Structure 1
Amino acid sequence: MATPTKELKKPGGGYDPREVKTVHDWIDLLKDEGEYREVNVKVDWDCEIGTIARYCMSAKNGVALLFDNIKGHANTFCKKLFTNSVSSYGRFNLAFGLPKDTSTRELVLTMKEGYQKSLSPKEVSTAPHKQNILKGDDINIEEIPVPKWHLWDGGRFINTFAPVITRDPDVGRYNMGIYRGMNAGPKHVSCLMAPSQGWGDHYSKAQQRQEPMKVAFIYGCNPLLTILAGSAFGRLVSEYDVYGGLVGEPLELVQCETSDLMVPASAEMVIEGTMSWDPKDFKMEGPFAEHCGYYGGGYSLKPTVEVDCITYRDDPIFQGSCESIRPGWPTEDAYITSLSSSALVWNHLEACGVPGVTDVWMNLDGPFFMIYVQIRQSYRHQAKQIASAIWGMSFANWAFKIVMVVEEDIDLRDHGQLEWALCTRVNAAMGDLVIFKNHFGSVLDPSTPFEERDLMKFGSGKWARMLFDATRNWDLGGRPFWNNQVFPPVVVLSKEEEELVQGRWEEYGLGDIKYEPRMEIDKNEDLKQRYAFNSRPTPEYLEDHGGQHAITDRTK
């Protein structure tokens, strides 16, 4: 059972992540926080569960859900489904041991710092999921209560929220990712496989050697393991090591029954399998209601895992997630990818030597395709350096079609401020809109012709990426009237004006009216100085040109 940390005193509490090792620990914590419900009435795996999950993810007071009475699974070895585990900012904060009401910026900073830590895992001899072992004719993945999440999905997708474990055959480094996989009979899982993904790289190496690839699918984890699996780390990073560094103790691993792969000992259930490189072993997969809000891919032959073994603890909990992101329809994947991308891009930019990054944000609604960066600009065309660095990341095969860079007076989480910056600081005629043509991109983007996103032929989709440079353009040159700055001052209130009015507010008879500044420049005197008063008309210029009288005359 999770215990509150002594350091965190805010309403909503917090906890030591080391105390939440299993999905059962996580459920206990969510119960205590009022973030969990059980659905005990009989429900259908065919779209009904998906619709319930969708409603709860979209509701402001939605909760994590456990279903334990699923049609057709009263007598199967697995009867329970857990979903919506981290489908809110509050639950995501809890996953990192933070109070529920922690701001998203503080959460990103916590992830940014934690994702730079590393501690190697340790091996243990056994695990609860070794209580039951199925091999040979006893294997039947159709006994697992896998939903058909959406109406036109090609089937029941067993892998929507399952960490997938593979190992680099050259250097032995582990990769843990979340990749979609569909039931293709009692003993097979057909998978969407992209060479640019972590396990796709391992698969390509196995294919070159003409050797099958060993795979393990993990079900029922503590939230951090799944979040790390869904975070787009670089190829030289093992999520196992990051987990240890993040929580402060090694992740316990146990060896699979049919391969030498090491998997988390805390899992509820593990499917061990073998993926063939030979197209004759491929099975049909797709379509699927994908993260971009549209059905992704067609019904086609794809690489397939043959199940060699299933290990599971008594009365195991299967875990899955309803996909497809659009406004009003967030998903667990949306929370994971938007928050982790914000942290990882920030770390990447700093590692590339980009100075002055003050915030990074990926919004929930933009299905990974757009990211915002806030900077204190220190040289001309700094935004182009930022976009180039982001587009070189491995995750750019799925994400970052559009990059927008602003300065620190614009709040990345306020769409109105972003629109204001776009409208007043971006001029395509001045090079503020950059289009990078003929770039690789997501195979799931419906705006790309289907023929241009053939994974088997090209390995990726095709994009023209865009940069919106919404910083003040230094190419405009200094303007003497504005103290030799390149941009006129933002219209602000002086500290003296505000203090005068605030002191007399009750006297005006306006005591019941409350003004709350929206933009940070109206709260922060340093920003006000930098982007307003530093570019105010200088007294010397006004004196030399009679500007003060001219301005006064215009107001008559």
Structure 2
Amino acid sequence: MMTNHPTRLEGALDLRAFLAEVKAAGELQEISRAHWNLEIGALTELFAEQTPTPALLFDEIPDYPHGRRVLSNVLFSPLRQALALGVSTDLRGIPLVQEVKNRLAQLKPIAPEEVKDAPVVQNVAQGNDVNVLNFPAPQWHEKDGGRYIGTFDAVICRDRDSGYINAGTYRVQVHDEKTVGLWIIPGKHGNLIAQKYWSRGEDCPFLILCGVPPSMILASAVGIPWGISEFDFLGGLLDTAIPIVKGSATGLPMPAFAELVLEGVAPPPEKVSRPEGPFGEWPGYYASGTIDRPVVRVSTIYHRDDPIITGDPPLKTYLNTDIYMHIRAANIWSSMERAGIPDVKGVWFPRQGRFVVVVAIRQRYSGHARQVGYGVLATRDGGRDTRMIVVVDDDIDITNINDVLWAMASRWDPKRQSEMVDVPASDLNPTVTPEQKAANDMVSSCIIVDACRPYGRRNEFPAVSSVSSEYRQMVLKQWAHLFGKQL
């Protein structure tokens, strides 16, 4: 049975409550007078290079009144991810992944609950009062094609046939006072929904949450089956109904504690489109160039007093892999358990590579490690753009990249214990060639690395020579004063 402390739920559902706890934990850096043009983006990257990495709250941004704020590096610590997920902030590493995985295994979707009064509707702008430029959307990277108000966002739309509500994280560029550009990777649920409207010559209604509760960003970024709304999924994960209000023009739901929401419609792109990009994306490159893409005509803006834009400018993968690490690893682990793959002991995304997945198993039969590799690829969170899947024995600490590389160096024979497979790719993947893009041949390759002891001679494989875990703890307890703390 899942249980949540009320204050933990507040931190998951309300960005203000979340920030209060983050500040109390000493993980919030408040910065005044950094410019929206490149400075905020540069400081975000420079702080991301530091360990630990604080959340950054920017205020007094030039050209904007005090209180129009930007938050970045939002979830760059286990404590902040735990707060966003409504679980104990004492959890770290695999225990945190396991707690989320257990919640996913027990999850029963809970529909959101509409409320009458909500902070997000403290201010409503319509008609001539609509002006997206009233909010300090940053120019994140030097060669970006413009200012991006949607990077750590949730874009809400409704399937026209079933009524299914989807929330996804897609990039949103500011074009002018009443127009933003929207780009959704083909195949994502938001794109499939929009295509249904556009194929009939209809406008697709959207809500764009530019300042989101921390739990909502995790729900909108994880792979959830078609037909299950992220609102219902998140309600089940937190074991409480998500409070919502509905947009006056579209009837689409928005979290009651959202900070800033744009409401509007996207005409079919063959009727209306504008150049979008380039934008520094998740691989660490300007991967997609400038292309005519759909736009959203904004008819209404909702925002709290002193709204906060939540920002996640993609950096080199080793700088912001942490953001979705725990929930995506938990989702892959849970999916493999549901598929009947036994004795998976942990799933992890090394910080050094966002699309490298490491799995620890207790081997039960020949081919078990390869089955796990294919099992990762069969999941929504492990199947697209994945470059490498490393499967190791459960004596390896998969949260320690040095231990993983040691297993690869000493237990993996590249010729005998590797498989190369094709996987779906996005056009942000810099290895996809122009010819592939022109032919819509959107695939790349992935290597499955079986870095386990060969199953047939696992019992004869040389024993590890390092200090046993039991004796390690005994020595550390006796000699703790030499290490400054008990490890």
User: Which of 157, 163, 168 is the equivalent residue of 2:154?
Assistant: 163
The reply on whether 1:388 has 2:361 as its aligned counterpart is: no
Partner AA of 2:201 in structure 1: Q
1:127–1:266 contact (8 Å) kept in structure 2: yes
Give matches, 1:491-530, under 5 Å.
Answer: 491-492=464-465
Given that 2:12 and 2:215 are in contact with CA atoms closer than 8 Å, whether structure 1 keeps it comes out as no
CA deviation after TM superposition for structure 1 residue 161, in Å: 0.7
Three-state SS of the structure 2 residue aligned to 1:389 is: helix
| One-letter amino acid of the counterpart of residue 109, structure 1 | Q
Choose from 439, 448, 456 the match for 2:432.
448
The answer on 1:211 being equivalent to 2:202 is yes
Identity %: 28
Other-structure match for 1:525: none
SS in 1 for 2:97: helix
- Counterpart Cα distance in 2 of 1:322 and 1:401: 22
- Taking structure 1 as reference, are residues 51 and 472 closer, same or farther at Cα in structure 2, changes over 3 Å only? same
Equivalent in 288, 308, 311 of residue 279 of structure 2: 288
Structure 1 residues 229-238 or 170-179, which shifts more?
Answer: 229-238
SS of equivalent residue, structure 1 residue 288: coil
In the other structure, the counterpart of 1:141 is 132
Change (3 A) 1:386 1:314: same
Equivalenced residue count is 479
**96 and 82 in structure 1: CA distance in 2 versus 1, 3 angstrom threshold:** same
Q: Structure 2: where are the runs of 5+ without partners?
A: none
Deviation at 1:513, TM superposition (A): 7.5
CA change 1:194–1:7 in 2 (3 A) is closer
Counterpart pick for 2:21 among 29, 33, 36: 29
Q: Tell me, yes or no, if the aligned pair for 1:195 and 1:203 is still in contact at 8 Å.
A: no
Partner of 1:104: 93
Higher relative contact order (CA 8 A, sep 6+): 2
Aligned to 1:323: 314
The answer to whether structure 1 residue 349 and structure 2 residue 336 are counterparts is yes
Show the counterpart of 1:366.
Answer: 353
Q: Does residue 461 of structure 2 align to residue 470 of structure 1? A: no
Q: Deviations over 1:160-210 (max 9, x none)?
A: 011111122222222111111111222222122222112112122223333
Greater CA drift, 387-396 or 284-293:
387-396
Equivalents in 2 of 1:21, 1:93: separation in Å? 13
**Structure 1 stretches lacking a partner, 5+ long:** 1-5, 9-13, 479-484, 519-556
CA distance in 1, matches of 2:471, 2:215: 46
Partner of 1:239: 230
Matches of 2:323 and 2:52 in 1, distance apart? 19
Aligned counterparts of 1:494 and 1:410: Cα–Cα separation in 2: 14
Q: Distance in 2 between matches of 1:415 and 1:19?
A: 31
Q: Do the aligned partners of 2:10 and 2:17 also contact (CA within 8 Å) in 1?
A: no
CA distance in 2, matches of 1:235, 1:170: 13
Say if 1:221 and 1:267, in contact at 8 Å, map to a contact too. yes
Q: Which residue in the other structure is 1:400 paired with?
A: 386
Q: Deviations over 1:339-377 (max 9, x none)?
A: 22211100111111111111100112213x210111111
Distance 2:235 2:406 in 1: 42
How many Å apart are 1:285 and its aligned residue?
0.8
d(CA) in 1 for partners of 2:114, 2:166: 17
Is the Cα contact below 8 Å between 2:84 and 2:214 reproduced in 1? yes
State the alpha-carbon separation in 1 of the partners of residues 96 and 40 from structure 2. Answer: 30
Q: Separation in 2 of the partners of 1:410 and 1:70?
A: 47
Aligned to 1:490: 463
TM superposition shift of 1:517? 13
Q: Does 1:335 align with 2:289?
A: no
| Superposed displacement of residue 234, structure 1 | 2.7
Distance in 1 separating the partners of 2:240 and 2:35? 40
- Alpha carbons of structure 1 residues 32 and 462: separation in structure 2 relative to 1, 3 Å: same
Q: Which moved more, 1:249-258 or 1:238-247?
A: 238-247
SS in 1 for 2:429: coil
Partner AA of 2:68 in structure 1: K
Q: 1:176 to 1:308 in 2, by over 3 A?
A: same
Matched, 1:379 2:365: yes
| TM-score under structure 2 length normalisation | 0.89
Separation of aligned partners in 1, 2:294 and 2:372: 36
* Secondary structure in structure 1 of the residue aligned to 2:95: helix
The structure-2 alpha-carbon separation of the partners of 1:220 and 1:428, relative to structure 1 and needing over 3 Å to count, comes to closer
* Residue 429 of structure 1: aligned partner: 415
Paired residues of 1:190 and 1:285 also in contact (CA < 8 A): yes
* Counterparts of residues 220-259 of structure 1 (less than 5 Å): 220-259=211-250
Q: CA deviation at 1:452?
A: 2.0
- Take 1:103 and 1:403, find their aligned partners in 2: how far apart are those partners? 22
Amino acid across the alignment from 1:31: K
TM-superposed deviation, 1:289: 1.2
CA 486–276 in structure 1, closer or farther in 2 if over 3 Å, else same: farther
Q: Would the alpha carbon gap of residues 429 and 487 (structure 1) be closer, same or farther in structure 2, given more than 3 Å must change?
A: farther
Tell me how far apart the structure 1 counterparts of residues 464 and 259 of structure 2 sit (CA, whole Å): 58
**8 Å Cα contact 1:193-1:302 kept in structure 2:** no
Q: Which of structures 1 and 2 has the bigger CA Rg?
A: 1
What amino acid maps onto 1:23 in structure 2? Answer: L
Q: Distance in 2 between matches of 1:396 and 1:115?
A: 16
Query: Match of 2:449, SS?
Result: strand
Contact (CA 8 Å) 2:204, 2:267: kept in 1 or not? yes
The structure-2 alpha-carbon separation of the partners of 1:99 and 1:134, relative to structure 1 and needing over 3 Å to count, comes to: same
CA offset digits 1:489-539 (Å, max 9, x no partner): 3144898x979xx89xx9xxx99978x999xxxxxxxxxxxxxxxxxxxxx
Alpha-carbon contact 1:284-1:300 (below 8 Å) kept = yes
Alignment partners' CA distance in 1, 2:190 and 2:471: 58
Contact 2:283 2:428 (C-alpha < 8 Å) held by counterparts: yes
- Give the aligned partner of residue 541 of structure 1: none
- Which of 260, 276, 290 matches 1:269? 260
Contact 1:15 1:98 in 2 (8 A): no
TM-score by length of 1: 0.79
Residue 295 of structure 1 aligns to a residue whose secondary structure is: coil
Give the alignment's Cα RMSD to 1 decimal.
Answer: 3.0
Q: Aligned to 1:234, what secondary structure does the other structure show? A: coil
Partner residue in 1 for 2:191 = 200
Cα separation, 2, equivalents of 1:292 and 1:447 = 10
What is the identity, as a one-letter code, of the residue corresponding to 1:465? C
Offset, 1:397 = 5.8
Shift in CA distance, 512/230, structure 1 to aligned 2, threshold 3 Å: closer
- Give the SS at the match of 1:85: coil
